[in-house]
Amino acid sequence: MFASLNALEKIAHRNGGPYVLGMKQTELDVRLYATLIRFDTVYVQHFKCNLGTLRYNYPVLNNWMKHVYWDIEGYKETTEFRHIKENYTKSHADINPLAITPVGPWPSIEKGYESDWSKLSPGAIDMPEVLAHEKELK
């Protein structure tokens, strides 16, 4: 997971935004949003993907997500964080037998989009195992 996020962070930065592949929104943006909007909110705690978060370890992907959520019609309007959290935490009894649903992170999506992606430095999880797996992706 984190090797793929490392690679995607670099790809997005190299393409310069405002979308993952550059100036035009593609199907990749739509499909990636559906996954990444859930990452910090659910995957980190529920699936124990806690080596890092988008908001702290992947500034380019986090910046992209802030842009599509706050600025592109249809994304914010079709995202309900409470539903996302409760769907996972209350439907996987083997993972979360008490159906505990966390309140955070807060805010769900930060504000403050940086339109000049050259001002962003790509982040990564630099754990040796993650970096080794990232090399295998190429």
3 state SS of 79: coil
Of the CATH numbers 3.40.50.300, 3.40.1010.20, 1.20.1050.10, 1.10.3720.10, which one belongs to the domain with range 2-137?
Answer: 1.20.1050.10
Domain boundaries of the chain, sorted by first residue: 2-137
Mean pLDDT of the 16-40 span: 97
CA distance 94 to 46: 11
pTM: 0.94
Per-residue pLDDT at 31 exceeds 80: yes
Tens of pLDDT, residue by residue over 57-110, are: 999 999 999 999 999 999 999 999 999 999 999 999 999 999 999 999 999 999
